[in-house]
Structure 1
Amino acid sequence: LQTFQHMFEYIWDRDISNDDHENDLVVLGNTYSSKEDPTEPLPITSSVSESHGTDDTENTDDKNTNQWPDEFIKDVETRIWLTYRCGFPLIKKADQGPSPLSFGSLIRGTIDLSTINKGFTTDAGWGCMIRTSQSLLANALLNLQVGRDWRYTERSDLSVRDRKHCDIVSFFVDIPSAPFSIHNFVEQGVVCSNKKPGEWFGPSAAARSIQELCENNFDKCKLKVYLTSSGDIYEDELLHLAKENEDSEIAGADVDHFNPVLILAGIRLGVKNVNRLYWDFLKQTLSLSQSVGIAGGRPSSSHYFFGYQGDYLFYLDPHVPQNALLTASGSTHSEELLLDSSNYLDVEPKLNIQSVHTKKIRKLHLDQMDPSMLLGLVVKSKDDYLDLKKSIDEFDPNKKFLNIFSKRPTLMSSKSLSAPEEGMEDSEFVDLGVQSMNEYDCAIDDIDYDEDDDTFDEPVKKLNRAFSQPVLISKDDTFDDALTIASNSEIEFDKTASMVENPNLLESSDFNETFEEIAESESMKELESDEEPVVVS
């Protein structure tokens, strides 16, 4: 049912006018007044339409710029927008992996029948989380290497910053030798997350892929990646990452050297929807100068969120099939193009740059947002980091899902004072509670209850937490919602639903993203209708 609902929305995608003249417009740390005089309608110069599949022509969707402030529209258009692509070099199918033939690809008309038994030449139907993660990374690089004040314009006389923008786009072209191509995301998905080609990525697989690809291509991106699976950021670890320098042992090395760091927080902010407790802080993160957006966020599909107005989030939609971004050399089906790294060229004059920018305004209310997401922040310097820390520290501790600590604590039993032996993998993502504790397990076994000890309200024989934080469940979440998340604790994008209403409809092997597991005995408890949220440990 949701598949047909999304297809209906896809076909009947309407233009959105600015009907809110009270709330400011926020785009990745920049704020625009909604009370400005509306812009004059601009001529339509492109014809890519979501209802007509692929098109080689330029895409700006100018017709709905009316009623939105001009500076806001220019900022939106500057965001790099990566979408489904068709006709790229083959990604080989795994022996036991998904088939390139799917209902969605048939409906969209993106399937290549000549390669159907060999592999994938389009990511339509399965690659939206990869594309939104690419968008997040691309806009982080744009912020770092071009500057937040730069604006995209179509012109033939390219400035130095214009060319740098083209260089960044070329990192994401759809060929295996491009540093951040879909081919390399898929390859890292296999290596880091056991994802087969054609399988749906979730936030953790996307984050791991970004981390590995940035490390492998540091000479090009000059960006380190810090992953947090609990919302906890440890200053000593982050600053150590920022200080990593292969020339650090050379006499005269710059003691003030600071590698820009992309912080990726894989978070889950509720059971079925984003808990209202977190709305303000979620918007606050998008208003920070360090923000580079959010990937994820809508049931059964992933979007790239870059700003907000009131309680609506602005996003770029990757579910728009376009022809592959390719260099001019070779045929898309030639073995040379698949294997020869020389096909990755200085290709900015050849790239269809217009296809990675749009003026189309889309927004989604926070109560419709899927609670699992990948949030990105970039710190460029020590001062930039301290500014981010100050902004996070000043927010209400009971309503934020990010915390910065000086170093990673070691949780110890109140009786034995011994640290737990087992630790959660750094890149596993968990559901967030009211306040962060620690990224590692808290596993305390066989605690003998002392009647004279008032530490516990009741005897605890075995306290095993596989993850570091409780799941915050709102009183608006139903009993069935809690049971669903307990039975199926994994999230996927690009399928019929990311929260499966009936877990029996899909086999367990269909699930791929691991989040916090709630013990069935806990999830079976009825939720009380108190004003305060109920925390299930």
Structure 2
Amino acid sequence: MNTQDEGNNSDVEGKVKNRLLSMWNNVKYGMKLKTNFSKESPVWLLGKCYRRIESPSSDSTELGTDVAAFQSQSEIASSDDEGFEGFKKDFISRLWLTYRREFPILNGSNYSSDCGWGCMLRSGQMLIAQALVCHILGRDWRWQPDHQPTTRESFIEVVNHRKIIKWFGDKPSRNSPFSIHTLVALGEASGKKAGDWYGPGFVAHLFRQAFKRASEDNYEFDSLTVCVAQDCAVYIKDVMEECTDKNGKWKSLILLIPVRLGAEKFNSIYAPCLTTLFSLKQCIGIIGGRPKHSLYFVGYQDDKLIHLDPHYCQEVVDVWAVDFPLTSFHCRSPRKIHLSKMDPSCCIGFYCPTKESFFNLIEIVQPLVIPPGRTDSPGSEYPMFIFCDGYSRDAQLSPKKLPPSELEYSMDSSTDGDDMGTEAFEIL
């Protein structure tokens, strides 16, 4: 057998392996389950609150994906007069970036899929995509797949929606500055390679690098910057310096704060701090998950976190084709996981479009990240993160009263595959 035949056989074997792995993942993570949402409790989704009017029939409702099912189950009301139908529209409008298969081979590897290892990168993509949606389309934008644009404004929204997705396209191109190919290439400088596990803190720094590189090619990123907190501390003058351009104009800020909320497992003392963050208008979500199972958290109800799961493996989409299909970039199945199952390592994201928004965040969030309860409770002396005056370069010692600085993602394989702790709508 000559070298060319061996290479062809290797390619075929790789494609078969990728297909089998993606099929297994879709069986494992694509189970058609139902979930319950209480009528008694509000549902928070990235700064928006949705409520139900109590129905005399039951205390909770099983929800599917059919819009008619939502309308027939109870009368709906919320803080923004949209109710749970509004929650559904809001959730579906978030960008869903998942495992893909059959994309161009990642440089220096045989990988044409990130199935089985790229979940944290995909979660990070979703977090950044939400920031870009807020920056370009606005937080109140909603995807309307069944409506054709009829005005200039709606046409621009359609173009910008597709443009954001293109920036995450699965190909090695400077026109897709946040592709998995770009992120893996940037990670190589720090010793990571395709097939490795990535922690939430590491992914935050990858996106900081990716934004700096993207701004060299695309003027649209000149008005936006990414700052990553150091050792759970946000240095205010660092942020101010980073967000001020050469003309003294403020750049919109994506603030990423890697934290560790416990030693081996999530410390429940941080539960109210964590969930309260989803009520802030600046919140763009949290990347973390369970051990070896990254998730993108976007909201909560009671003691369960609502999330988008990147583990569903889909065929690559050529985002540079005219009118490429959008359905695989939006999820109709919100999932929930109990707070206690969350891995302690995570990264919190905020988007501040103005200087006023940033200082408003500082004022509001500082009391919220201090665990409540007795001062002698384990962990109560440690806020989730802090804001510090001055520059990080001037800090001679690490800030006091900070959680442990180990920010690597846990890899306890004993919990891998146990997905029954989540609940989901039926996937169409």
TM-score bracket, shorter-length normalisation: 0.7 to 0.9
Distance 1:7 1:153, change over 3 A: closer
Distance in 1, matches of 2:72 and 2:366, equals 39
Of 281, 285, 288, which residue of structure 2 is paired with 1:293?
Answer: 285
Distance in 2, matches of 1:292 and 1:203, equals 15
Q: For residue 86 of structure 1, report the CA deviation from its aligned partner.
A: 0.6
Query: CA-to-partner distance for each residue in 1:345-387, whole Å, 9 max, x for gaps?
Result: 5x5x432211110120200110111111111111111110121
**Is residue 2:156 matched to residue 1:160?**
yes
**Is residue 2:185 matched to residue 1:187?**
yes
Aligned pairs for 1:501-520 (under 5 A) are none
Q: For residue 64 of structure 1, report the CA deviation from its aligned partner.
A: 8.5
Deviates more, 1:363-372 or 1:351-360: 351-360
Hey, what does 2:220 align to over in structure 1?
220
Distance 1:81 1:298, change over 3 A: same
Structure 1 unpaired stretches of 5+: 45-61, 95-118, 249-254, 328-344, 413-418, 424-436, 439-467, 473-484, 500-537
Hey, what does 2:58 align to over in structure 1?
none
* TM-score w.r.t. length of structure 1: 0.61
Query: What amino acid does structure 2 have at the position aligned with 1:164?
Result: N
Q: Is the 8 A contact 1:226 1:262 kept in 2?
A: yes
Q: For residue 92 of structure 1, report the CA deviation from its aligned partner.
A: 3.2
Of 245, 259, 263, which residue of structure 2 is paired with 1:271?
Answer: 263
Query: What amino acid does structure 2 have at the position aligned with 1:280?
Result: P
Hey, what does 1:131 align to over in structure 2?
122
Of 352, 366, 378, which residue of structure 2 is paired with 1:393?
Answer: 366
Aligned pairs for 1:38-437 (under 5 A) are 43=66, 69-94=84-109, 119-154=110-145, 155-157=147-149, 159-177=155-173, 178-191=176-189, 193-218=190-215, 219-221=219-221, 222-245=223-246, 248=247, 255=248, 257-327=249-319, 345=320, 347=321, 349-395=322-368, 397-399=370-372, 400-408=383-391, 419=396, 437=399
Q: For residue 13 of structure 1, report the CA deviation from its aligned partner.
A: 4.2
* Higher relative contact order, structure no. (Cα contacts within 8 Å, ≥ 6 residues apart): 2
Distance in 1, matches of 2:183 and 2:112, equals 14
Query: CA-to-partner distance for each residue in 1:315-338, whole Å, 9 max, x for gaps?
Result: 0010101011214xxxxxxxxxxx
Q: For residue 281 of structure 1, report the CA deviation from its aligned partner.
A: 1.1
Query: What amino acid does structure 2 have at the position aligned with 1:173?
Result: G
Structure 1 or 2: more helix by fraction? 2
Q: Secondary structure at the match of 1:204?
A: helix
Query: What amino acid does structure 1 have at the position aligned with 2:409?
Result: I
Q: Is the 8 A contact 2:34 2:63 kept in 1?
A: no
Hey, what does 1:426 align to over in structure 2?
none
Query: What amino acid does structure 2 have at the position aligned with 1:171?
Result: W
Distance in 2, matches of 1:409 and 1:243, equals 17
Q: Secondary structure at the match of 1:175?
A: coil
What's the % identity of the aligned pairs? 29
Q: Is the 8 A contact 1:17 1:66 kept in 2?
A: no
Largest Rg, 1 or 2: 1
Q: Is the 8 A contact 1:313 1:364 kept in 2?
A: yes
Q: Is the 8 A contact 1:41 1:66 kept in 2?
A: no
Distance in 2, matches of 1:213 and 1:409, equals 22
Query: CA-to-partner distance for each residue in 1:167-218, whole Å, 9 max, x for gaps?
Result: 1011111111111111001101112x21012211111221111001111112
Distance in 1, matches of 2:63 and 2:415, equals 40
Distance in 2, matches of 1:231 and 1:73, equals 33
Q: Secondary structure at the match of 2:285?
A: strand
Q: Is the 8 A contact 1:201 1:492 kept in 2?
A: no
Q: For residue 408 of structure 1, report the CA deviation from its aligned partner.
A: 4.2
Query: CA-to-partner distance for each residue in 1:3-26, whole Å, 9 max, x for gaps?
Result: xx99875254412132x1221110
Query: What amino acid does structure 2 have at the position aligned with 1:201?
Result: Y
Q: Is the 8 A contact 1:225 1:262 kept in 2?
A: yes
Aligned length: 358
RMSD: 3.1
Q: For residue 162 of structure 1, report the CA deviation from its aligned partner.
A: 2.2
Q: Is the 8 A contact 2:35 2:62 kept in 1?
A: no
Query: What amino acid does structure 2 have at the position aligned with 1:84?
Result: Y
Q: Is the 8 A contact 1:15 1:361 kept in 2?
A: no
Structure 2 unpaired stretches of 5+: 1-23, 56-60, 74-82, 373-382, 417-428
Distance in 2, matches of 1:373 and 1:496, equals 18
Query: What amino acid does structure 2 have at the position aligned with 1:152?
Result: W
